[in-house]
Structures are given as structure tokens and as C-alpha cells.
Amino acid sequence: MAHEDVLRWLAAHAPDVPVIAPGASTATVAEAAAALGVEPARIAKTLAMRVNGAALLLVTRGDARLDNQKARGALGGKPRMLDAQETLALTGHAVGGVCPFGLATDLPVWIDVSLKPYATVFPAAGSRDTSVELSPDRLAALVARGWVDACTLPDAGLPSV
């Protein structure tokens, strides 16, 4: 039902945002990037976690990694990733299709600043083979409590050549 919940949510809140079904898996960042023909950084992955006992979602660019120190500062405590069962129970979406739309529970959603440089990004659409394309600002306006800086980019801290 997760994909249908996303479709209903999009119809009510963003009817101009079409669902993309590329005919291939979008369950991982690498699969989604290949299926959609974009760089992995433009895949907007949704991380489900608890901070100080409260569940929340963080949407970040596909190749970014959660930085524990930055996340503590941005989110107010140490993040603990939810397991697949708890993620499904709280979001209504199975791992591989987790997105910030059509949630089973009213969870706070935060958007990582790592998505800001891109004109459009591709979050999942509630299934392991669908996505949507929208600007990071539109994504934030639709679902987020705000922007945070909680991740490290893959080239951060590496010496330049």
C-alpha cells in the first residue's frame, strides 16, 4: 500500500509532480542512479532514525554519509538508524522505497544541505522501482521542518590534487 499512499499524498499536495517508473530497481542509490540516468549524488535518500528517542527522517544526497558529530549538533542528539521492521512500521514504506511522502506516522522530516546545489533531485516514491523529480527547495517546502547540515560528502577532507 505504500506506493498507493504516496500517489494519494502527491495527488493532494503536489499534483504537478509525476511519478517516474523507469522499469528497473531504484531500491539502492546505485540502482536508482543507473535506472534514472543521473549521478548518485542527485538521488535523495531518506534515512529513518531516532534521536533522543524520537523518530525522524533525514533526506540527503545519495553519496553523502551521515556524520555523527554534525548530526548530533544539527539534530540535537546521537542518531540511531532504525531497522527495516521499525522503518516499515513508522513510515509505511519498506527499505528501498522509503520516502518522505505518504507516511504512516507523522514524522518530522529534515533535508540535508547537501541537496541544495542540484536543480532537481530524485527521492523514492514508496516502492522499490519508482521515484519523483523535484527541486530541493520544493521538496523542503512540501515535507520538511527545515534544513540541516548533518552529512559529509565523499570528497570532504581529502587533499586536492
Supply the pTM of this predicted model: 0.93
Note the pLDDT tens digit of each residue in 36-82.
Answer: 999 999 999 999 999 999 999 999 999 999 999 999 999 999 999 99
Closest CA to 52 of 100, 91, 108: 108
Q: Does domain 2-149 have CATH number 3.90.960.10?
A: yes
Q: How confident is the model at residue 35 (pLDDT cuts 50, 70, 90)?
A: very high
Q: How confident is the model at residue 160 (pLDDT cuts 50, 70, 90)?
A: very low
Cell of 133: 523529480
- H-state helical runs in the chain: 2-13, 29-36, 68-75, 84-91, 136-143
Distance CA 154, CA 161 (A): 15
Closest CA to 108 of 90, 83, 81: 90
In this structure, the dihedral spanned by the alpha carbons of residues 107, 113, 117 and 123, taken in order and rounded to 10 degrees, is -20
At 161 the pLDDT is 44
82's torsion region: left (phi>0), alpha (psi -120 to 50) or beta?
beta
Q: Where are the domains of the chain?
A: 2-149
Are the beta carbons of 82 and 95 closer than 8 angstroms?
no
Note the pLDDT tens digit of each residue in 109-139.
Answer: 999 999 999 999 999 999 999 999 999 999 9
